[in-house]
Structure 1
């Protein structure tokens, strides 16, 4: 739905920067996200599916009629490399990215070792390997 909100900024249905400004306070967020939600409900027939893994994305693109998707980078890039008729492009509004976060269970044991591992993962070299992976079947990176 964030992608829809960014699109609505370009159409004038939301003011430029509205999606970022929504985080200023709850009242502003509710007002802005109501516009996004209303648009999504009115256009729900255009939504084919919601995905939760790379295989689902590949299958949807190749055999379930999905023609545009907000996806991880790895599935469409893999399809392109295999010669499938897929293109991977960032939208005009700009790409959305996220960094996978880490968390610990409230019942976790050996917290010192767990925090040491988390610290290691955010050091330059291992973090860079994770970010630069970008394809399936590699030890680091990708979502395959």
Structure 2
């Protein structure tokens, strides 16, 4: 009896020890670069948690969390458009308790977009972290009036236009026509009617296109040489060119840049939920968010990060984006499966047209 009592006590102490370790450890599933060593060390000193990082991408995150039904990690960082459909099927995330997030420190339009685009029934499942955009890369000296995606169809720039034959071009041109394609996602028939019109516009303006780019480095070379003066491209590409030649720059289109957001989400069986909220709030503190942006180049949802940015990076954001431009970004929502086939057929039609 005495031996059994001793053994029971030993097992209880072992269990408590394991629980303590679990509580002291924060396991993060994230992209490379999203948890800089310097910030991890700063967080560990501030909170006492021991951080363990596993690097991944959207597909692997989903696979890992599906396999464990949401166990094994306390924080994950999927893109906002890869959450709601997965959550509906597999229930791998916890609903976010926004009362535990310092929402006053966030860009309101980004928080609202993520709440909306990760909503399942009455709950939302993510907090915005970082973002990037596509829009126009313009030679402002040679194409000073290129302010929206409609410039990709403009005879004024004939022979000096480039874009990818991909869905962002369809989406961008639709917005420039005064439509909101994302609002038509729930009606495939309406979406197809809109995109039929966009495809006709692209076919009509095809003689003005220098090429359909597929390699980003090749596009930048065409812009450097002025063979192309208006292109659809990404923000960092435009800023890289601006550093070399002030006439070249990224322009947020009048109808709104197209944006992706990577988020913070909490897996369904997270063991250290308190630590997860602590990490999310820590990474969105202005100085910490600015450190990430200075290191990786992506903007963040932290409202006050700009004042801590390196001058060159701060200038890039302020030159290309007013506050109104940030609030006007069209954030990608989840794509219904049937729409991808509609887009694919239309893009093939544009490519094959004479």
- In the TM superposition, what is the alpha-carbon distance from 1:51 to its structure 2 partner? 2.8
* 1:132 equivalent among 293, 299, 305: 293
* 1:5 equivalent among 171, 174, 179: 174
Q: 1:59 to 1:131 in 2, by over 3 A?
A: farther
Aligned residues: 110
C-alpha distance in 1, partners of 2:291/2:259?
14
The answer for the alignment partner of 1:76 in structure 2 is 238
- Matched ranges for 1:1-144 at <5 A: 1-9=170-178, 16-17=179-180, 19-63=181-225, 65-99=227-261, 124=280, 125=283, 132=293, 140-141=296-297
TM-score by length of 2: 0.27
* Structure 1, gaps ≥5 residues long: 10-15, 101-119
Q: Does the CA-based 8 Å contact 1:4-1:36 persist in structure 2?
A: yes
Higher RCO (CA < 8 A, seq sep 6+): 2
- In the TM superposition, what is the alpha-carbon distance from 1:85 to its structure 2 partner? 2.5
C-alpha distance in 2, partners of 1:71/1:131?
23
- In the TM superposition, what is the alpha-carbon distance from 1:58 to its structure 2 partner? 1.1
The structure richer in strand per residue is 2
Q: Does the CA-based 8 Å contact 1:54-1:72 persist in structure 2?
A: no
**CA distances 1:91-126 after superposition (whole Å, capped 9, x unpaired):** 1111111247xxxxxxxxxxxxxxxxxxx9xx7449
Provide the aligned C-alpha RMSD in A: 3.1
Counterpart of 1:70 in 2: which secondary structure?
A: strand
| Higher Rg of the two aligned structures | 2
C-alpha distance in 2, partners of 1:75/1:40?
24
The answer for the alignment partner of 1:106 in structure 2 is none
Counterpart of 1:92 in 2: which secondary structure?
A: coil
After TM superposition, the runs of 4+ consecutive aligned structure 1 residues lying more than 6 A away are none
